[in-house]
């Protein structure tokens, strides 16, 4: 990753065209659903920890001794508790990022059902480290059913918009969020095309769940033409444009590219950074350079918005905690207000939640800061995005087959890397499975989500089938 090293100095917020050091005038409109029902948001996140413990399990504290990076945690009690809960073979490594984010665990078998104490430990680890990787699952035994069962502990798995339609139209487009929920037949989903590319060599793990998104760089019959490189995506969090955003997303890695270029030593060469696509025109040149500083070996790019918030002066932190963002699902919607700063209800760590003016250009509406004009909102959020994307807050996560990697969408941004497409070799193949979850974590299964809550927040009211929850 050939990143610029520019540091945006203190005073980040004071150079905007409209003052942000006084609270914006907030209209009294409906506020978003909380991250974890009853204990989220920038004021409720600091509730008495005994109350949190009652609903979310015991709070193992990993902090207050040896520090790493901006927001590091001590390792000794974490490792002791890890081995107590998961056995003497369990180990941890981290932080994975210079910012203090990221923890990698080995020796945890996710084929086995988890106890409430084990779930609480992992919940607390994510609340501290923002990104957690549970490495080395045996793909001969660990199925996508095991993966979805595990996801139920983090929230209710959400059908991905690529797997369903609304009123016969794609669900991932502006204006196409209404209408009857209709699952796309499995033979028309990505998995079917992936399975046709390398028959007998590489096939998706069996599944039909609408919550599982297949992420790959090959879809269909191979071509005689040479592979081409497509640029990365836009920085975002998952489904922040709904009233109840995604809490946790996770990948299961099946195949990672191993081919390397003889000249550069990377899988791909950096695409031309001079083009605005996929972003809108008009952004600052330095911001565009930061946006396009992406990994070149198929890693997932992350930015640590908790460390980025912690690095700001206290006066600017206090000002940002007063900021409300108006988010919309579709153009023309009135939208709703959502806090820019969130407090994690388990760790108390504050972070910037999706400080992006246009996280899905031409797909979802841009964001406005309450009390600011559209032009000033873009300037304000572009400066925040440039701050968050500085190298000291960035981390590129490599995927190895069998790794399950989770991230907290309230405490991170992420982006897809440049990819080879139209590939002809398994050495270039990248195949991942993704699940995303909403709502409260569950220490034990099955989940107890109210039917009316599912209807309001989960497309099609989807619930993981009992036969998956009850896997031996």
> Which of the 8 DSSP states describes residue 236?
B
Tokens of 18: 């409209």
Taking the C-alpha atoms of residue 131 and residue 394, their distance in angstroms, rounded to an integer, is 12
Taking the C-alpha atoms of residue 209 and residue 159, their distance in angstroms, rounded to an integer, is 8
DSSP-based three-state secondary structure for 88: coil
Q: pLDDT for 115-124, tens place per residue?
A: 999 999 999 9
Tokens of 373: 């004009």
> Which of the 8 DSSP states describes residue 69?
T
pLDDT higher at 69 or 337:
337
Please report, for the domain that includes residue 326, its CATH number.
3.60.130.10
Mean pLDDT over 343-368 rounds to 94
Beta strands in 128-271 (DSSP E): 131-134, 156-157, 164-166, 169-170, 181-183, 213-216, 228-230, 248-255
Give the model's confidence band at 33: pLDDT under 50 very low, under 70 low, under 90 confident, else very high: very low
Q: pLDDT for 292-333, tens place per residue?
A: 999 999 999 999 999 999 999 999 999 999 999 999 988 888
Rg (CA), the chain: 21
Mean pLDDT over 409-414 rounds to 98
Taking the C-alpha atoms of residue 282 and residue 117, their distance in angstroms, rounded to an integer, is 50
Give the model's confidence band at 8: pLDDT under 50 very low, under 70 low, under 90 confident, else very high: very low
Residue 134 inside a domain? The answer is yes
> Which of the 8 DSSP states describes residue 231?
P
Could you tell me what percent of the chain has a pLDDT over 90? 67
Q: Which range among 34-38, 337-341, 393-397, 444-448 shows the weakest confidence by mean pLDDT?
A: 34-38
Taking the C-alpha atoms of residue 268 and residue 260, their distance in angstroms, rounded to an integer, is 7
* Residue 2 pLDDT: 53
Q: pLDDT for 173-209, tens place per residue?
A: 555 556 788 888 888 888 999 999 999 999 999 999 9
Structurally, how many domains does the chain consist of? 1
Sort strands 131-134 and 103-106 into parallel, antiparallel or unpaired: parallel
Residue 363 inside a domain? The answer is yes
pLDDT higher at 105 or 39:
105
Q: pLDDT for 257-284, tens place per residue?
A: 999 997 889 999 988 767 788 898 989 9
This prediction has a pTM of: 0.86
Taking the C-alpha atoms of residue 83 and residue 75, their distance in angstroms, rounded to an integer, is 12
Give the model's confidence band at 30: pLDDT under 50 very low, under 70 low, under 90 confident, else very high: very low
Residue 82 inside a domain? The answer is yes
Residue 8 inside a domain? The answer is no
76, pLDDT greater than 90 = no
- What's the start-to-end Cα distance of the chain, in Å? 43
* Residue 182 pLDDT: 87
255-286 burial, b if ≥16 CB within 10 A, otherwise e? bbbebeeeeeebbbebbeeeeeeebeeebeee
Give the model's confidence band at 171: pLDDT under 50 very low, under 70 low, under 90 confident, else very high: low
Other beta carbons less than 10 A from residue 175's beta carbon: 12
* Residue 75 pLDDT: 58
Mean pLDDT over 368-384 rounds to 97
Residue 40 inside a domain? The answer is no
Residue 85 inside a domain? The answer is yes
- Residue 359's domain comprises 46-457
Residue 462 inside a domain? The answer is no
| Residue 443 CB contacts under 8 Å (≥ 6 apart), including other chains | 56, 57, 116, 119, 120, 153
Tokens of 297: 């070996």
Tokens of 287: 């911001």
Residue 116 inside a domain? The answer is yes
């Amino acid at each position: 990753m050939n990143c610029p090293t520019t540091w945006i100095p203190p005073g980040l917020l004071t150079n905007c065209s409209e003052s942000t050091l006084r609270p914006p005038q907030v209209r009294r409109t409906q506020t978003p659903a909380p991250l974890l029902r009853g204990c989220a948001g920038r004021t409720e996140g600091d509730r008495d920890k005994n109350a949190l413990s009652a609903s979310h399990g015991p709070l193992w504290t990993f902090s207050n001794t040896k520090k790493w990076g901006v927001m590091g945690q001590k390792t000794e009690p974490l490792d002791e508790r890890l081995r107590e809960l998961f056995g003497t073979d369990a180990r941890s490594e981290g932080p994975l990022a210079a910012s203090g984010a990221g923890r990698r665990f080995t020796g945890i078998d996710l084929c086995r059902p988890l106890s409430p104490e084990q779930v609480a430990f992992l919940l607390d680890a994510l609340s501290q480290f923002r990104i957690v990787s549970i490495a080395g699952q045996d793909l001969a035994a660990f199925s996508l059913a095991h993966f979805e069962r595990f996801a139920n502990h983090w929230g209710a798995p959400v059908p991905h918009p690529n797997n369903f339609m609304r009123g016969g139209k794609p669900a991932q487009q502006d204006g196409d969020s209404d209408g009857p929920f209709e699952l796309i037949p499995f033979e028309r989903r990505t998995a079917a095309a992936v399975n046709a590319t390398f028959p007998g060599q590489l096939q998706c793990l069996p599944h039909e769940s609408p919550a599982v998104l297949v992420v790959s760089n090959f879809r269909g019959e191979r071509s005689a033409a040479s592979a081409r490189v497509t640029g990365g995506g836009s920085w975002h969090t998952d489904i922040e444009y709904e009233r109840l955003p995604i809490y946790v997303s996770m990948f299961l890695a099946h195949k990672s590219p191993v081919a390397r270029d003889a000249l550069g030593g990377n899988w791909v060469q950096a695409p031309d950074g001079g083009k605005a696509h996929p972003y809108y025109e008009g952004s600052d040149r330095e911001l565009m350079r930061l946006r396009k500083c992406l990994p070149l070996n198929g890693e997932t790019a992350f930015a640590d918005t908790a460390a980025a918030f912690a690095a700001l002066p206290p006066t600017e932190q206090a000002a940002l905690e007063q900021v409300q963002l108006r988010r919309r699902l579709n153009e023309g919607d009135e939208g709703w207000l959502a806090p820019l700063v969130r407090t994690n209800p388990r760790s108390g760590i504050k972070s910037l939640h999706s400080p992006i003016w246009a996280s899905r250009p031409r797909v979802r509406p841009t964001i406005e800061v309450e009390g600011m004009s559209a032009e000033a909102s873009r300037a304000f959020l572009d400066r925040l995005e440039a701050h968050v994307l500085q190298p000291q807050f960035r981390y590129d996560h490599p995927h190895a087959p069998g790794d399950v990697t989770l991230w907290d969408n309230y405490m991170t941004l992420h982006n897809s890397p440049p990819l080879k497409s139209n590939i002809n070799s398994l050495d270039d193949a990248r195949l991942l499975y993704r699940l995303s979850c909403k709502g409260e974590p569950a220490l034990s299964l099955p989940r107890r989500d109210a039917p009316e809550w599912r209807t309001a927040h989960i497309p099609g009211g989807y619930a993981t089938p009992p036969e998956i929850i009850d896997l031996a």
